[in-house]
């Protein structure tokens, strides 16, 4: 265990060293605002496809999905499917049009033909909200994982730190590194970090998948059979329903809510992706819309392949490690993939040393994954704060490029510092709750505004403002009164009960609310459509004329 | 620090002009292109693919989620060995996603890109001539 710990740290430091030197190199190539915000728009379709994948495949994807499959079987696969299908919304409706019409942020497109200040303010608020919740989830996850991955048990110390102190130290370290990547490297540096991370993550997942398949002689059916037997749930383990949409005998109301909750989760997963600001700004890093399209195609291929492998990782962990051994380490199951690595290493790479090596490799990959995603999120929120709020709301479009970039760097430090502090206080929050909230806000607040502004000529400023705030408030309020926050044993505040909303995921209500608010705000406002401005948006977004 | 001409304070907030110099080709060119039959064709070509495709994949995905919630027995039906309908249905979502993405890429490069290229050139001309 001690050897594995040292090796994990060494490998992680190697990753940090490599990415930091690339970041410093990238900083020398960063001369103007386009370099800082959009990496000079010079990345190729494959590079950006890898970077998009790196930004998207968070700890929730890697550790979370493998964990849910390992503990609850088939239900975890729903996440893989939703997260992948979601990319069709981005491909068909958003990526190219956004790339053609925008410059640096999501709000560039929203505010194109509407009043700059109210729309950009609203967009900055929702961008920062989504990014911070997502960021907290990753940082809290990193803190929780470090004790487990480094094998620090309660009562033990590591470098003189108790497990609690080691968690805080990890959060601070991750936070400090992400600030450095963003402040120094801007979009260029961050993009290379994503590319390297995506490469490492794919290598790690492929290696484990192959070893799992070797263990079961490349027979999927016998892998599934072994997982089902070891889980103790039998064939129910291979069917939907162990975790989501549970049927509660004798309680028809609860059963009804559980099933609606499953539908709600499904909708939020598929509609959230195309409203995530840190994903949307990646489309600006390529020269034109056609390259943006190709990068989404690459991303769909890479992400799809990865999510297929979650089947092998999750069911492999269920069959070879077993639910009991996983929950003994971590109740949420987040260590299923690292423990699977240890077991596979013991089997195929030579005893406990092999186990330690593979555990260390996969743990380092998990840290790299978290680090890359938080850097992408910090960049998205600081870009929006600087470009949308500072340059266009406060300075009314009169800020110089230099000023904008300086403010963006300061904003990254500020947002990073705030996230570090929040993450330290939020350590006991449920990580899944934070991610679900981020996806729900993205789908309820951002997606309606984006789709309306691209496709609906009559859409007005009040429509956009209503859609964003309406979707944002609806999802936040519903989550606050949901069983995730209070009124249940697994809630954030288990001792309290102000819960009245029965669903854990607000999507099925809050997404329609967002669309409805955008429509109502539009039809109730008397503002006439600016036909010339809409013509410009439409022609530019469809043809790429005048694109940045 | 010699006595050169007094340096003007960095761009003294130009008079209330259009802030972003985005309308390089002037806006009448955009309006003219937007109202042309060729642009209507491009818009129709785009929407006639992406809207039905969105409805189709969303309905197909919704069917999968609804069956997962309400048709457990059907989803649990074993096909070969331990491989059941739920797993195959899930894998088919992967297949459909890959296929729709591929079809769109093909359609876009054959049908949309040539139309867009021509119109883009026209916007740039329109900015100069008319």
Quickly state the pLDDT bin for B20 (edges 50, 70, 90): very low
- As to burial, measured by CB atoms within 10 angstroms (0-12 exposed, 13-18 middle, 19+ buried), residue A526 is exposed
Interface check for A172 against chain B (CB to CB < 8 A): the answer is no
- DSSP one-letter code for A161: B
Distance CA A483, CA A144 (A): 22
ipTM: 0.93
Q: Residues of A numbered 65-104 whose beta carbons fall under 8 angstroms of chain B's beta carbons: which are they?
A: 74, 77-78, 80-82, 84-85, 87-89, 91-93
Question: What pLDDT score was predicted for residue A492?
Answer: 76
Q: Who among B58, B65, B102 is closest to A263 (CB)? A: B65
Question: What pLDDT score was predicted for residue A356?
Answer: 86
- For residue A482, the Cα-to-chain-centroid distance in whole angstroms is 22
Query: DSSP string covering A248-289, please?
Result: -TT-HHHHHHHHHHHHHHHHHHHHHGGG-HHHHGGGGGSSSH
**Residue A494 phi/psi, 5° resolution?**
-65, -25
How much is the average pLDDT of B35-59? 97
Query: DSSP string covering A369-391, please?
Result: HHHHHHHHHHHHHHHIIIIIIII
The answer to whether A245 and A261 are in contact (CB under 8 A) is yes
Quickly state the pLDDT bin for B7 (edges 50, 70, 90): very low
Question: What pLDDT score was predicted for residue B129?
Answer: 38
Please tell me the distance in Å from A496's CA to the nearest CA on chain B.
30
Task: Pick the range with the lowest mean pLDDT from A189-193, A372-376, B8-12, B67-71.
Answer: B8-12
Question: What pLDDT score was predicted for residue A154?
Answer: 62
Identify all chain A residues contacting B102, using CB atoms and an 8 Å cutoff: 297
Identify all chain B residues contacting A245, using CB atoms and an 8 Å cutoff: 68-69
Identify all chain A residues contacting B61, using CB atoms and an 8 Å cutoff: 81-82, 85, 266, 270
Question: What pLDDT score was predicted for residue B9?
Answer: 46
Question: What pLDDT score was predicted for residue A374?
Answer: 93
Interface check for B100 against chain A (CB to CB < 8 A): the answer is yes
Query: DSSP string covering A28-73, please?
Result: HH--SHHHHHHGGG---HHHHHHHHHHHHS-HIIIIIHHHHHHHHT
Q: Residues of B numbered 45-74 whose beta carbons fall under 8 angstroms of chain A's beta carbons: which are they?
A: 46, 49-50, 53-54, 57-58, 61-62, 64-66, 68-70, 72
Q: Who among B65, B94, B105 is closest to A266 (CB)? A: B65
The answer to whether A545 and B123 are in contact (CB under 8 A) is yes
A319-323 long-range Cβ contacts below 8 angstroms, 24+ apart: A319/A216, A319/A223, A319/A226, A319/A227, A319/A230, A320/A212, A320/A215, A320/A226, A320/A344, A321/A70, A322/A230, A322/A231, A323/A70, A323/A71, A323/A230, A323/A231, A323/A232
**Contact between chains at A293 and B108 (C-beta distance less than 8 A):** yes
Question: b/e per residue, A348-380, with b = 16+ CB within 10 A?
Answer: eeeeeebbbbbbbbbbbbbbbbbbbbbbbbbbb
The residue that leads in pLDDT, A263 or B7, is: A263
Interface check for A37 against chain B (CB to CB < 8 A): the answer is no
Q: What is the pLDDT along chain A (548 residues), one digit of tens a residue?
A: 566 778 888 888 898 999 999 999 999 999 899 999 999 999 999 999 999 999 999 887 888 899 999 999 999 999 999 999 999 999 999 999 999 999 999 999 999 999 999 999 999 999 999 999 899 888 888 877 776 666 666 667 777 777 778 888 888 998 999 999 999 999 999 999 999 999 999 999 999 999 999 999 999 999 999 999 999 999 999 999 998 999 888 899 999 999 999 999 999 999 999 999 999 999 999 999 999 999 999 999 999 999 999 999 999 999 999 999 998 887 888 889 999 999 999 999 888 888 888 988 888 888 889 899 999 999 999 999 999 999 999 999 999 999 999 999 999 999 999 999 999 888 777 676 777 778 889 999 999 999 999 999 999 999 999 999 999 999 999 999 998 888 887 777 888 899 999 998 999 999 999 999 999 999 999 888 888 999 999 999 999 998 98
Dig out the tokens for A8 from the structure: 């994990």
Question: What pLDDT score was predicted for residue B18?
Answer: 41
Distance CA B29, CA A84 (A): 40
Interface check for A297 against chain B (CB to CB < 8 A): the answer is yes
**Contact between chains at B72 and A241 (C-beta distance less than 8 A):** yes
Q: Residues of B numbered 12-31 whose beta carbons fall under 8 angstroms of chain A's beta carbons: which are they?
A: 13, 19-20, 22-25, 27-28, 30-31
Interface check for A520 against chain B (CB to CB < 8 A): the answer is no
Question: What pLDDT score was predicted for residue A143?
Answer: 79
Interface check for A228 against chain B (CB to CB < 8 A): the answer is yes
């Amino acid at each position: 265990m001690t050897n594995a710990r040292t090796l994990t740290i060494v490998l992680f430091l190697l990753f940090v060293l490599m990415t930091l030197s690339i970041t410093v190199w990238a900083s020398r190539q960063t001369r103007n605002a386009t370099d800082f915000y959009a990496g000079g728009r010079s990345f190729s379709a494959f590079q950006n496809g890898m970077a998009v994948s790196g930004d998207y495949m968070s700890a929730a994807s890697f550790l979370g999905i493998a964990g849910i499959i390992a503990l609850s079987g088939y239900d975890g696969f729903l996440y893989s499917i939703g997260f992948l299908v979601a990319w069709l919304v981005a491909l068909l409706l958003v990526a190219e049009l956004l790339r053609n019409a925008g410059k640096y942020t999501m709000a560039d497109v929203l505010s194109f033909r509407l009043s700059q200040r109210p729309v950009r303010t609203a967009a900055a608020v929702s961008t920062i909200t989504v990014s911070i919740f997502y960021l907290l989830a990753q940082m809290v996850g990193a803190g929780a994982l470090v004790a487990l991955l480094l094998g620090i048990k309660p009562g033990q110390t590591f470098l003189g730190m108790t497990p609690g102190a080691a968690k805080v130290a990890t959060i601070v370290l991750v936070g400090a590194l992400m600030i450095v990547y963003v402040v120094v490297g801007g979009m260029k540096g961050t993009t290379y970090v994503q590319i390297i991370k995506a490469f490492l993550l794919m290598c790690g997942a492929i290696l484990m998948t192959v070893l799992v398949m070797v263990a079961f002689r490349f027979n999927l059916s016998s892998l599934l059979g072994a997982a089902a037997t070891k889980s103790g749930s039998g064939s129910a383990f291979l069917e939907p329903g162990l975790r989501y949409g549970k049927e509660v005998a004798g309680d028809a109301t609860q059963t009804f809510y559980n099933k609606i909750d499953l539908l709600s989760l499904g909708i939020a997963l598929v509609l959230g992706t195309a409203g995530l600001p840190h994903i949307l700004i990646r489309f600006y890093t390529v020269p034109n819309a056609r390259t943006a399209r190709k990068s989404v195609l690459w991303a769909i291929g890479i992400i799809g392949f990865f999510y297929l492998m979650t089947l092998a990782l999750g069911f492999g962990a269920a069959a070879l490690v077993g639910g009991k051994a996983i929950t003994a380490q971590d109740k949420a199951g987040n260590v299923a993939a690292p423990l699977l690595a240890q077991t596979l290493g013991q089997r195929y790479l030579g005893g406990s040393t092999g186990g330690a090596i593979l555990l260390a490799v996969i743990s380092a990959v998990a840290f790299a994954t978290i680090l890359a995603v938080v850097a992408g999120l910090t960049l998205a929120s600081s870009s929006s704060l600087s470009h949308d709020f500072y340059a266009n709301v406060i300075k009314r479009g009169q800020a110089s490029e230099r000023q904008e970039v300086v403010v963006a760097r300061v904003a990254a430090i500020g947002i990073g510092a705030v996230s570090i502090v929040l993450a330290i206080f939020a350590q006991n929050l449920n990580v899944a709750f934070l991610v679900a909230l981020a996806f729900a806000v993205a789908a309820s607040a951002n997606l309606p505004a984006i789709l309306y502004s691209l496709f609906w000529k009559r859409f007005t400023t009040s429509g956009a403002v209503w859609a964003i705030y309406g979707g944002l408030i609806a999802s936040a309020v519903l989550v606050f009164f949901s069983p995730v926050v209070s009124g249940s044993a697994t809630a954030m505040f288990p001792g309290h009960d102000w819960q009245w909303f029965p669903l854990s995921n607000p999507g099925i209500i809050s997404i329609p609310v967002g669309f409805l608010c955008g429509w109502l705000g539009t039809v109730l406002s008397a503002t006439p459509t600016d036909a010339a401005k809409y013509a410009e948006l439409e022609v530019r977004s469809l043809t790429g004329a005048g694109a940045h | 620090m010699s006595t050169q001409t007094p340096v003007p304070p960095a761009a003294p907030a130009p008079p209330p002009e259009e802030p972003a110099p985005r309308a390089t080709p002037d806006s009448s060119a955009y309006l003219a292109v937007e109202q042309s039959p060729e642009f209507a064709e491009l818009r129709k070509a785009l929407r006639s693919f992406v809207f039905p495709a969105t409805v189709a994949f969303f309905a197909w995905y919704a069917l999968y989620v609804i069956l997962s919630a309400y048709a457990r027995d059907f989803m649990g039906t074993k096909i070969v060995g331990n491989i059941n309908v739920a797993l195959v249905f899930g894998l088919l979502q992967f297949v459909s996603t890959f296929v729709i993405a591929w079809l769109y890429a093909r359609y876009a490069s054959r049908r949309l890109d040539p139309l867009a290229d021509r119109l883009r050139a026209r916007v740039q001309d329109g900015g100069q001539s008319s």
